[in-house]
Each structure stands twice: as C-alpha cells, then as structure tokens.
Amino acid sequence: MTNAVIAGYTRTPFQPAHKGKLVRVRPDDLATSAVKGLVERTGVNPDDIEDLILGCAFPEAEQGFNMARLVVLLSGLPITVAGTTINRFCGSSMQSIHFAAGAIQMNAGEVFICAGVESMSRVPMTGFNPMPNPVLSEEMPGAYMSMGETAENVGRKYKITRREQEEFALLSQEKAAAAETSGRLREEIVPIEVEGSNVDRDGCLRPDTTLEGLAELRLAFDESGTVTAGTSSPLTDGAAAVLVCSQEYAQAHGLTPLAKILSTAVAGCEPETMGLGPIFASRKALARAKIDAQSLDVVEINEAFATQSIASIRDLQLSPRRINQDGGAIAIGHPLGATGARITGKAAEILSREGGRYALSTQCIGGGQGIATVLESV
C-alpha cells in the first residue's frame, strides 16, 4: 500500500472575528495566502499537484462558488490543478486530508494541497439565510442546537465544574504564550499585507489571563450553566494549508515528510452532545492504527470548548502533558473550516520537532460528529 505523508504545513495569522486585523480580508484571499506560502516553503513542483481540496464550514457569499478552484487561480497555480470545496463543518479541512490520503492510496494522484478557511467576520455562523428542515427541527431539535448549548450539555453530563474549565483554559493560554514567545507559532505563519501593514502574529492570544479574571466573566449561554467566553474558542478569521503526498514522491523530489498518515476515522454521535465526537472517532482511528492512547506522543484536540475537551481527554485516557503542547483553540482561535488542517499539520510538526512515534489530531463537529487522524513518524 502506498503511504501518504504530510510534507508541509502553513497558516495565516488567526485573528479575532469582527475586531481583528483580518476583518477586511476576503476568505478566498486568506486561503490564497496560506496556499502560496505552502508552495513556496515546501518547494513542491506546482505542476505535480493533482487537486486543491479546501474545507469551509459555511461556503456561501465570499466563501461560495467553488472557492477551491478560485483559490487555485488566485494562487497562480497551473491551470491543470483542480479544486474542490468540501464541508464537514469544523472537520472540513481535516476531511480534506483524509480524502487526499485515500486518493493517494488508490493511485488517484500523488500530490495534494489540503486547506481550510473561514472568515467568521464576513460570513456569520449558520450563514446569512439558515432554513432548518421543519420536520427535523420538530422531531430532533438538537440537530440545529447552538454549539454553546451542546457545551453546557457535555459539562452537565460529565459534571465538569466551572473551575475545572477555567484551569484548562488558563493552561491553553499559558502554552500558547510560551510558543509565541519562543517563535514556534510564528514559524508556521505566512504574513499577510493588510492596508499597508504586515500582519504576522495571532490576535486571539491572551497571555495575561488569570484564574481570577476568568472567574469574573459572565456566563455565555445558560444563566444556570458553567461555560463562559473564556472557556470557549473565540470566533476567528484564518486559513491553513497542508501538503499531502505519497512517501515515494517526497523521497524522489527532496521534500521533507513531517509524518505518515497511519489511519483516519469519522463517527456520528448525539447532536445534543456533539462535543463528544472525538471520543468515538479517535477510538476508531486508534483501533485501525493498532495502537492505544498510551502510545501517543502528541495529541492535538480542538478546544471548541473546555467542557468537550476535558470530557474527551477523560474518556480517551489521554496524557495531559501530550495535549496541545503549543496551546489550543481557546487561546489561538478556531476559524471553523481551517482548524482541521491546523491541528493535523501542527501534530505532524510537533511529532517531527520533538521526536516520538505516534500523534493524534481530533475534533468535534456540529450536528453530532467527530473526526480523527493518527500519524506516525517517518
């Protein structure tokens, strides 16, 4: 079987939606910046790229048409490079990596750009004109439940206290601040020119976060609940891109693989507790890789909310010191369609940087799903 490897990872800065430095940047331009940076930094021959697979959670308006093909053209890639836009909500760009790995294993191409983008400033969550199915909305209202409500449901189910969530959020901020100070975050960022200014840093980080400050925040979704803005990922603008190719191609063309894609999985779960999706998807991916959670050296779990992250970590029995070593989405941000590429590229990068053998990237998905990827060192 042909092995698929991750041979590069880049992203734009992640900036707060509505008030950050990328508010005026179109999402197709954001994705173009990440893609151009990936091609330049890896040195891949653009003529060899089969397809650009682009994930986006709300592909309408400026994120509409077939944005992937438009990004191919905006990036100056050869006209022969195809493009397809896919949607699995928050798991969209991780799914793009899965599609590329599958295509490589069935000899349907050797080189793919797997990217994701979301401008939550320019296209709102749920889009501009949501129209729920009236029958499904009546019979299963959880299918359209807000993400904040699902986070509260997970917190109640697992008896996760507000203090526990705040300690988790503080640790995410501290790890991200350390990674920013050391330059580890900036190494993966492709700067963007915006109105004459160079945006080259993340804007969601809160290095001055304290437990006392978190404790003073108002509840965000339920007056009788425990979830606040400080224990949730912020609305974010950003894009990320990963180069996926066959191991043979990487070796023949002088590319440096960061990790091999060992197994993938998706799983459905109850929409009302969609945050538990990583548990079910990760179990499947680990079983397919024939390893257990204790074998993992690196874990990147998307911190949509502290409640769902804590619940997943508990049930999967993940080692806390392996998790989100450079900070997670509570600190860095969560531009929906881009996050899967970010955390999978990041898992590969940390595995290569720190050593070890196995890594897991996983995330929950609105509507009741999970997605997971297991990587192995090369």
Give dist(CA 219, CA 187) in Å, integer.
35
Contacts of 374 (CB under 8 A, 6+ apart): 261, 262, 263, 264, 285, 286, 288, 289, 291, 358, 359, 360
Is there a catalytic annotation at residue 334?
yes
By CB atoms closer than 10 A (0-12, 13-18, 19+), residue 200 is: middle
Place of tokens 């070890």: 356
Of 18, 56, 90, 114, the catalytic one is 90
Query: How does pLDDT run along the chain (378 residues), one tens digit per residue?
Result: 799 999 999 999 999 999 999 999 999 999 999 999 999 999 999 999 999 999 999 999 999 999 999 999 999 999 999 999 999 999 999 999 999 999 999 999 999 999 999 999 999 999 999 999 999 999 999 999 999 999 999 999 999 999 999 999 999 999 999 999 999 999 999 999 999 999 999 999 999 999 999 999 999 999 999 999 999 999 999 999 999 999 999 999 999 999 999 999 999 999 999 999 999 999 999 999 999 999 999 999 999 999 999 999 999 999 999 999 999 999 999 999 999 999 999 999 999 999 999 999 999 999 999 999 999 999
* DSSP codes of every residue in 49-94: --EEEEE-SS--GGG-SSHHHHHHHHTT--TT-EEEEE-BTBTHHH
Structure confidence at residue 1 (pLDDT): 79
Is there a catalytic annotation at residue 253?
no
Q: Which of 233, 258, 222, 259 is nearest to 331 (CA)?
A: 233
Structure confidence at residue 124 (pLDDT): 96
Structure confidence at residue 224 (pLDDT): 96
Of 56, 114, 245, 334, the catalytic one is 334
Report whether 361 contacts 372 (CB < 8 A).
yes
Structure confidence at residue 340 (pLDDT): 98
Structure confidence at residue 347 (pLDDT): 98
CA atoms within 13 A on the CB side of 32: 18
Of 114, 204, 245, 364, the catalytic one is 364
Domains of the chain (ranges; CATH) run 4-124+235-373 (3.40.47.10)
Structure confidence at residue 352 (pLDDT): 97
Is there a catalytic annotation at residue 364?
yes
Classify the phi-psi angles of 109: left when phi > 0, otherwise alpha if psi is within -120 to 50, otherwise beta.
Answer: left
Give dist(CA 161, CA 143) in Å, integer.
26
